[in-house]
C-alpha cells in the first residue's frame, strides 16, 4: 500500500525501500550496514519534524515505538485485535506499549474488555470507537450485475446466496461455515441456497474446493478466492453469514450491511454482536450450528424480513459507522492529547480521558 500512502502525503519507512539492489543485499545477508545507515538518516529527519504525537494503528505497530522513543511524545494505539491475535503477534507488543505509557482506542467494547481483563490496562486509558468504513464502498453502476455474478459462479438465477468473506483460517470459522451449509442443505435439499466464500490464499482456496468436492456440498458451496471488489458479490447475495470465532469488529460486516444484507453472527465472539442489536441482524448462541442454520432458513423463507433487517443494517452504517464519524472521533482524541501535552497537564488528568466520561469534544 506504499503508493497509496504516498498519494496522501510524505511517507517514511522503517525499512529501506525494496529496490532491486537492496533485495540482492538482503538475499546475500549483506544489508546490515545499509539498514543502520537508513535508520540513522530516518532518525535525523524525524527529529527535525516537530512530531508531537505517535498514532500506532494496531498492536503490531508497537515494534516501532522503541526506535521512535527519541521523539519523547505521547502514544495512542488503535487496537484492532482480540486476545488470539495479540498472542499471535507476540505479547512483547503489549509490554512495549505499556512501557511507553500508551493510551488506547479500542474498536469495540469486546476489545476494551480484553485489554482490561487480560492485560490489566486501566479502563480509563481506553476509548471505544467502533469500526467504520467510507460509504463509497457501495456498488457503482459499472459493477457486474447480480445476474452476471450468478452466471460467473454457475449459480441458477433463481437460487438464493448466503455469503461469507475473509481469510481461510480457524479464527474465521471456515469449518463452521461449512457445517452451517451442510445443516441448511439437509433442511432444504438440493433446492436450498448456494454458499459463497470470498477470500483466502490460493492454496487454501484449492484445499477447500477439494474438501467440498468430496462432500455432499459440491455445486452448492463456492470458494472463489480474493476479489479486488467484493461489492457486486454482496449485491448478488441474500444473507451475510459471519462465522468467526474471534473478530474484534469486522469491517466486512459493515460492507455487507451497506448492501442491505441481513447478518447472522455468533454471540461472545467480539464486536459483531455490538453492531447487530435490535433489528439489524441475528445473534445466535456461540457456535450453535443448528440455530444459525435455522436463522438462515427463517430469513430465506421471508423476503420481507430480509428486506427489513437489511435496510435497518444499512441505515445504522450510514448513521454511526461512516468514516467521517469515526475519523472525527479519533481526531478529537488526538487534539485532546496534544492540548494536554502543550498545557503540561498531569498524567492523571490525561488518564481522565475515559470511554464514558471523555472531555474530548465530539466523542
Cell digits of residue 358: 471523555
Same domain, 65 and 145: no
71: three-class secondary structure by DSSP = helix
Flag whether 205 is in a domain.
Answer: yes
Same domain, 143 and 120: no
10 Å Cβ neighbour count for 207? Answer: 14
What share of the chain in percent tops pLDDT 70?
93
Mean pLDDT value across residues 196-207: 97
Flag whether 176 is in a domain.
Answer: yes
Cell digits of residue 87: 498472542
Flag whether 43 is in a domain.
Answer: no
Same domain, 290 and 330: no
Is the sign of the CA dihedral 30, 32, 36, 41 positive or negative?
positive
Same domain, 206 and 347: no
Same domain, 302 and 224: yes
Flag whether 160 is in a domain.
Answer: yes
Instruction: Provide the domain limits for residue 334.
Output: 50-132+324-351
Residue 357: its pLDDT value, please? 37
What is the rounded CA–CA span in Å between residue 208 and residue 222? 9
Flag whether 41 is in a domain.
Answer: no
Residue 363: its pLDDT value, please? 36
Helix axes 174-188, 202-213, angle to 10 degrees: 30
What is the rounded CA–CA span in Å between residue 330 and residue 302? 40
- The answer to whether 131 and 209 have CB atoms below 8 angstroms apart is no
Q: Is the pLDDT of residue 361 over 50?
A: no
Q: Is the pLDDT of residue 349 over 70?
A: no
Same domain, 226 and 249: yes
Same domain, 200 and 96: no
Greater model confidence, 8 or 189: 8
pLDDT bin (cut points 50, 70, 90) of residue 42 is very high
Q: Is the pLDDT of residue 351 over 70?
A: no
Flag whether 118 is in a domain.
Answer: yes
Interval 267-278: pLDDT, tens: 999 999 999 987
Same domain, 115 and 233: no
Interval 68-90: pLDDT, tens: 999 999 999 999 999 999 999 99
Same domain, 153 and 301: yes
Same domain, 291 and 144: yes
Helix axes 289-300, 174-188, angle to 10 degrees: 60
**Which string of DSSP letters, residue by residue, matches 78-102?**
EE---HHHHHHH-THHHHHHHHTT-
Interval 309-344: pLDDT, tens: 999 999 999 999 999 999 999 999 999 999 988 775
- CATH code (residue 258): 3.40.50.2000
Tally of structural domains, the chain: 2
Q: Is the pTM of this model over 0.75?
A: yes
- Cβ partners under 8 Å of residue 350, min gap 6: 74, 103, 337, 340
Same domain, 75 and 200: no
**CA–CA–CA angle 272, 317, 296 (5° rounding):** 50
What is the rounded CA–CA span in Å between residue 337 and residue 76? 9
Go through 239-251 and write b for each residue having 16 or more CB atoms within 10 A of its CB, e for each that does not: bbbbbbbbbbbbb
Same domain, 158 and 273: yes
Flag whether 171 is in a domain.
Answer: yes
Q: Is the pLDDT of residue 356 over 80?
A: no
Residue 137: its pLDDT value, please? 52
Mean pLDDT value across residues 233-256: 97
Helix or strand (DSSP H, E) at 225: strand 221-225
359: three-class secondary structure by DSSP = coil
Flag whether 19 is in a domain.
Answer: no
Interval 118-166: pLDDT, tens: 999 999 999 999 999 998 755 566 789 999 999 999 999 999 999 999 9
Amino acid at each position: 500500500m506504499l503508493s497509496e500512502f504516498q498519494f496522501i502525503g510524505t511517507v517514511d519507512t522503517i525499512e529501506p525501500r525494496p529496490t532491486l539492489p537492496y533485495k540482492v543485499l538482503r538475499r546475500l545477508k549483506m544489508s546490515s550496514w545499509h539498514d543502520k545507515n537508513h535508520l540513522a538518516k530516518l532518525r535525523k529527519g524525524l527529529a527535525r519534524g516537530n512530531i508531537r504525537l505517535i498514532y500506532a494503528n494496531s498492536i503490531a505497530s508497537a515494534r516501532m515505538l522503541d526506535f521512535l522513543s527519541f521523539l519523547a511524545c505521547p502514544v495512542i494505539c488503535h487496537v484492532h485485535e482480540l486476545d488470539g491475535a495479540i498472542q499471535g503477534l507476540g505479547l512483547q507488543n503489549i509490554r512495549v506499549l505499556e512501557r511507553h505509557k500508551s493510551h488506547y482506542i479500542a474498536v469495540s467494547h469486546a476489545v476494551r474488555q480484553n485489554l482490561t481483563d487480560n492485560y490489566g490496562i486501566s479502563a480509563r486509558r481506553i476509548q471505544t470507537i467502533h469500526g467504520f468504513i467510507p460509504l463509497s464502498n457501495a456498488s457503482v453502476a459499472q459493477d457486474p450485475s447480480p445476474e452476471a455474478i450468478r452466471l460467473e459462479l454457475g449459480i441458477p438465477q433463481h437460487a438464493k446466496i448466503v455469503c461469507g468473506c475473509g481469510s481461510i483460517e480457524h479464527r474465521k470459522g471456515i469449518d463452521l461455515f461449512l457445517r452451517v451449509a451442510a445443516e441448511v442443505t439437509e433442511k432444504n435439499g438440493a433446492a436450498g441456497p448456494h454458499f459463497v466464500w470470498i477470500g483466502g490464499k490460493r492454496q487454501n482456496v484449492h484445499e477447500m474446493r477439494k474438501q467440498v468436492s468430496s462432500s455432499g456440498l459440491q455445486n452448492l458451496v463456492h470458494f472463489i478466492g480474493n476479489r479486488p471488489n467484493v461489492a457486486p458479490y454482496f449485491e448478488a447475495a441474500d444473507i451475510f453469514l459471519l462465522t468467526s470465532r474471534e473478530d474484534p469488529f469486522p469491517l466486512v460486516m459493515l460492507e455487507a450491511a451497506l448492501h442491505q444484507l441481513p447478518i447472522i453472527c455468533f454471540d461472545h465472539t467480539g464486536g459483531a454482536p455490538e453492531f447487530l442489536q435490535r433489528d439489524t441482524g441475528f445473534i445466535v448462541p456461540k457456535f450453535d450450528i443448528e440455530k444459525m442454520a435455522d436463522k438462515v432458513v427463517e430469513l430465506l423463507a421471508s423476503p420481507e424480513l430480509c428486506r427489513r433487517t437489511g435496510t435497518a443494517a444499512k441505515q445504522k452504517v450510514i448513521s454511526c459507522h461512516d468514516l467521517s464519524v469515526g475519523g472525527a472521533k479519533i481526531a478529537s482524541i488526538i487534539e485532546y492529547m496534544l492540548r494536554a501535552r502543550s498545557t503540561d497537564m498531569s498524567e492523571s488528568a490525561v488518564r481522565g480521558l475515559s470511554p464514558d466520561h471523555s472531555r474530548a469534544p465530539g466523542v
